[in-house]
């Protein structure tokens, strides 16, 4: 593709990635100062958990930016664009549902709202108008990735529809705003994992597999750094570490291991 065609993709990856890196670096490395990047402050474990999400998103954007140097890059960045558009769109919706939690006197709030208004529209335009939507190559679905997708989507639905149940079940203290905000990334990860499960080309799966693996590993590390907040006799704590540990193993296997042998889907007969 010509530089003029690649330009909007590269600008999207760079701007979304820099925003994600800004939030992720402050929250993970200096959680007490996360208010410099977010519209509100949160306790250190929440800051690092949020940052694990953002750093994994920054990794997806960085890898997509690198992939845009190669010919035929549209297939490789198809799922990362969908991930970013779904993630940012979901966070915009949740933010609009919790406007009372934002102090519009802070510049971080206007930057937050502006970014999450622009990024999903921009990502949707790239996905549908610039080629990625037509770049899929199907195969028989990978059952492990389908299970991962179902868990993420179920968790997102619970966080969004049953927030009080989610607050009671969460392994450490959590606010209603954060319950809603966490639903967005888990929804995006679940939808992306469902798409990954049926994507035939390894190069089209690699970026989001690497991003999701980074999220699982960074979450486990953050949880271990704040392990005093987890109760060893609580089933939710065991479930937390068990699910993220299992997800990390599955994602690493699918990313680094041999290609899954699945039969490609048969093309539909023409008219």
The pLDDT value recorded for residue 3 is 62
Does position 182 have pLDDT exceeding 80, yes or no? yes
Q: Is there a domain that residue 242 lies in? A: yes
Q: Which domain holds residue 45?
A: 3-256
Confidence of residue 150 (pLDDT cuts 50, 70, 90): very high
Q: Is there a domain that residue 43 lies in? A: yes
User: What distance in Å separates the CA atoms of residue 34 and residue 45, rounded to the nearest whole number?
Assistant: 11
Q: Is there a domain that residue 261 lies in? A: no
Confidence of residue 263 (pLDDT cuts 50, 70, 90): very low
| Non-local CB neighbours of 95 within 8 Å, separated by 6+ positions | 102, 112, 113, 116, 181
Sign of CA dihedral 184, 229, 20, 31: positive
Q: What is the DSSP string of 62-102?
A: HHHHHHTTSTTHHHHHHHHHHHHHHHHHHHHHHHHHTGGG-
User: What distance in Å separates the CA atoms of residue 248 and residue 243, rounded to the nearest whole number?
Assistant: 9
The pLDDT value recorded for residue 258 is 67
Q: Is there a domain that residue 265 lies in? A: no
pLDDT digits (tens, 9 = 90+) for 170-181: 999 999 889 999
pLDDT digits (tens, 9 = 90+) for 229-245: 998 888 999 999 999 99
Confidence of residue 261 (pLDDT cuts 50, 70, 90): very low
User: What distance in Å separates the CA atoms of residue 18 and residue 66, rounded to the nearest whole number?
Assistant: 14
Express as a percent the part of the chain with pLDDT over 70: 93
Q: Is there a domain that residue 159 lies in? A: yes
Q: Is there a domain that residue 270 lies in? A: no
Tell me if 60 sits within 8 A of 84, measured CB to CB: yes
Q: Is there a domain that residue 268 lies in? A: no
Confidence of residue 5 (pLDDT cuts 50, 70, 90): low
pLDDT digits (tens, 9 = 90+) for 197-234: 999 989 899 999 999 999 999 999 999 999 999 988 88
What's the structural domain count of the chain? Answer: 1
Rg of the Cα trace of the chain? 19
Q: Is there a domain that residue 93 lies in? A: yes
pLDDT digits (tens, 9 = 90+) for 105-115: 999 999 999 99
């Amino acid at each position: 593709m010509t530089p003029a065609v690649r330009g909007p993709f590269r600008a999207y990856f760079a701007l979304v990635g820099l925003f994600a890196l800004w939030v992720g670096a402050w929250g993970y490395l200096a959680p007490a100062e996360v208010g410099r990047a977010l519209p509100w402050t949160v306790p250190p474990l929440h800051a690092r958990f949020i940052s694990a999400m953002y750093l994994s998103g920054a990794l997806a954007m960085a890898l997509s930016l690198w992939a845009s140097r190669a010919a035929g890059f549209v297939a490789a960045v198809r799922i990362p664009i969908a991930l970013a558009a779904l993630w940012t769109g979901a966070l915009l919706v949740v933010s609009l549902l919790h406007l009372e939690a934002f102090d519009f006197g802070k510049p971080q709030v206007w930057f937050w709202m502006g970014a999450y208004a622009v990024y999903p529209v921009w990502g949707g335009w790239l996905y549908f108008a610039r080629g990625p939507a037509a770049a899929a190559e199907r195969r028989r679905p990978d059952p492990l990735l389908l299970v991962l997708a179902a868990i993420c989507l179920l968790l997102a639905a619970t966080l969004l529809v049953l927030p009080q149940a989610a607050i009671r079940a969460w392994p450490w203290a959590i606010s209603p705003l954060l319950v809603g905000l966490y639903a967005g990334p888990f929804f995006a990860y679940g939808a992306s994992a469902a798409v990954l499960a049926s994507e035939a080309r390894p190069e089209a799966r690699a970026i989001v597999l690497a991003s999701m693996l980074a999220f699982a590993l960074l979450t486990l590390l953050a949880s271990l750094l704040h392990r005093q907040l987890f109760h060893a006799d609580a089933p939710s704590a065991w479930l937390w570490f068990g699910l993220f540990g299992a997800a990390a193993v599955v994602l690493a296997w699918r990313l680094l291991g041999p290609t899954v042998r699945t039969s490609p889907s048969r093309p539909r007969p023409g008219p």
